[in-house]
């Protein structure tokens, strides 16, 4: 492992890519120290801290948004929206490509069509930045988190114009940085920036564990003891291992290539396989379900508060209070609905991305078939059955990973910003990006006859690449 790490810096091209990527990430983190004009940063930090402890709708909004922005919404800086608008626009166009014929034709055109779709995605990103920036600044005003001189008159105009312009420019700059990583760095630029934002919260989580550690066996009130620390560390290792397994797991369907004769020679006949990922939807079902659950939960909490202010003894107040309690994070109905939504979105995303009929058609056009099945409709039916079954398993694993942070936070009294590293969206994103980065570095090392992280060997002219038989 150490030798493979040192090999990265022995290759000039790979070393430059790594340093360039690290330099971009440094620029990305510098933007978190540039606040927006007019926002009372002290009061905003206090409100965010109270909301995180009370798990209110405001707290849920901050925790979810912080996954994509690195926690900058709690500071309200120029990178407050993070890369989330671009990710949202990309997801929207991916879904539209499956239902809009014009986008389907562009996709079939190859690189030129993808360039056009990417251009439209950028325009959609600008629109989302303007909308989300306006909503966020308006929310800050309703919470009295803006300085008085920026609440009325010309100050209010300056607050909105400068705030929306700064947030939009910040998100577009991050989008541009991600594209620069794609060209001159290593890894997927947007994913790297997203992962850096998530990992930036690790020091605060580690600091909380250190400050609240109690050397006694059980630990004191609002403290974590030795047993709790061991359980926390073991749970982290177990969930990370499970996330890696569910990310790389495949269902390999054997494929036989048909033989054909040209002159006196026989071609084809090779056997290979068709890899189908167990979790083809990735982290998208958790993102969709979390987003969908956030709005009714926050809305129910707001209605319960308003009803209690009007008449705390009315039936409307008791009803809204009951609904709000059952939609709180950690409540049984909340967890149950979230699991159902993860299954629904897993099947939806897989259906949009994978078409068994198209896969069967491509196999037949390339002269391949699944042994024991006739090409065409029978193959498509078999692939649809397999995809349906593996999606059920993948959705179950996603649901388990998604609810672990909620259960740990509620049952053990651990803040959500600490428990989120035991599962959920952030952990899956970090694991998938880390695996992709390791595979890219491995490919660069092996291409230049160096041993990578997954191979070993030695020799005078460099490490030897071993075959499948060793």
CATH class of 1-200+452-470: mainly alpha
**Cα dihedral sign for 425, 429, 430, 431?**
positive
- Scored b (16 or more CB within 10 A) or e, 220-240 reads eeeebbeebbeebeebeeebb
Question: pLDDT tens digits for 167-208?
Answer: 999 999 999 998 899 899 888 888 888 888 888 878 878 888
Taking Cα atoms as reference points, which of 19, 80, 24, 443 lies closest to residue 192? 24
Domain boundaries, the chain: 1-200+452-470
Kindly give the confidence (pLDDT) of every residue in the chain, 470 residues in length, as a single tens digit, with 9 standing for 90 and above: 677 777 777 888 888 998 999 999 998 888 877 888 888 877 777 776 666 555 555 555 566 566 655 545 555 778 888 888 888 888 888 878 877 888 888 887 878 888 888 899 999 999 999 988 888 888 788 778 888 888 888 888 898 999 999 999 999 999 999 889 989 988 888 888 888 888 887 887 888 888 887 776 555 556 777 777 887 888 888 888 888 888 888 889 888 887 767 777 766 667 888 888 888 888 888 877 877 777 777 777 777 777 777 777 777 778 888 887 777 777 788 888 889 989 998 998 888 888 888 888 888 888 888 888 888 889 999 999 999 999 999 999 888 888 888 777 777 777 777 777 777 777 888 888 888 888 888 888 888 766 666 655 444 344 433 333 33
Which position has the token pair 């056997």? 271
pTM assigned to the model:
0.77
Burial class (CB in 10 A: 0-12, 13-18, 19+), 332: exposed
- Compute the distance between CA of residue 207 and CA of residue 95 in angstroms, rounded to an integer: 40
Question: pLDDT tens digits for 217-267?
Answer: 555 556 777 777 887 888 888 888 888 888 888 889 888 887 767 777 766
Which position has the token pair 């910040």? 170
């Amino acid at each position: 492992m150490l030798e493979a790490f040192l090999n990265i810096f022995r290759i000039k091209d790979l070393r430059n890519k790594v340093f360039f990527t690290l330099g971009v990430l440094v620029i990305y983190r510098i933007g978190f120290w540039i606040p927006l004009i007019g926002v009372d940063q002290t009061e905003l930090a206090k409100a965010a801290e109270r909301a995180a402890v009370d798990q209110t709708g405001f707290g849920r909004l901050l925790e979810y948004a912080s996954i994509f922005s690195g926690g900058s919404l709690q500071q309200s800086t120029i990178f407050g929206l993070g890369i989330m608008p671009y990710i949202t626009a990309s997801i929207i166009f991916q879904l539209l490509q499956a239902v809009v014929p014009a986008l389907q034709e562009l996709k079939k055109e190859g690189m030129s069509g993808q360039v056009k779709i990417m251009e439209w995605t950028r325009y959609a990103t600008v629109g989302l930045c303007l909308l989300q920036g306006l909503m966020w600044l308006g929310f800050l005003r309703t919470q009295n988190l803006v300085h008085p001189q920026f609440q009325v008159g010309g100050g209010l105009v300056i607050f909105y114009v400068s705030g929306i312009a700064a947030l939009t420019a910040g998100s577009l700059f991050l989008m541009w940085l991600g594209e620069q990583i794609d060209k001159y760095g290593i890894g997927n630029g947007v994913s790297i920036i997203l992962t850096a934002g998530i990992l930036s919260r690790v020091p605060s989580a580690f600091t909380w564990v250190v400050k609240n550690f109690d050397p006694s066996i059980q630990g004191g009130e609002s403290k974590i003891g030795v047993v709790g620390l061991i359980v926390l560390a073991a749970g982290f290792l177990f969930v990370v291992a499970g996330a890696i397994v569910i990310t790389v797991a495949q269902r390999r369907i054997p494929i036989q290539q048909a033989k054909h004769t040209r002159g006196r020679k026989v071609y084809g006949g090779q056997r290979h396989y068709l890899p189908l990922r167990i979790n083809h939807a990735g982290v998208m079902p958790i993102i969709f379900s979390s987003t969908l659950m956030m709005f009714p939960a926050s809305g129910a909490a707001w209605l319960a508060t308003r009803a209690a202010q009007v008449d705390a003894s009315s039936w409307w107040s008791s009803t809204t209070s009951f609904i709000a309690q059952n939609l709180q994070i950690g409540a049984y109905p909340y967890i149950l609905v979230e699991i159902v939504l993860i299954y629904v979105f897993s099947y939806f995303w897989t259906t949009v991305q994978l078409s068994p009929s198209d896969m069967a058609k491509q196999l037949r056009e390339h002269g391949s078939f699944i042994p024991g099945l006739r090409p065409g409709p029978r193959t498509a039916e078999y692939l649809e059955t397999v995809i349906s079954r593996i999606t059920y398993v993948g959705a179950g694993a996603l649901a388990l990973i998604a609810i672990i942070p909620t259960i740990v936070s509620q049952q053990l009294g651990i803040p959500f910003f600490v428990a989120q590293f035991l599962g959920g969206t952030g952990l899956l994103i970090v694991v998938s990006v880390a695996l992709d980065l390791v595979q890219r570095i491995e490919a660069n090392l092996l291409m230049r006859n160096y041993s990578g992280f997954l191979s070993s060997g030695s020799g005078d002219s460099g490490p030897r690449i071993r075959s499948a038989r060793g």
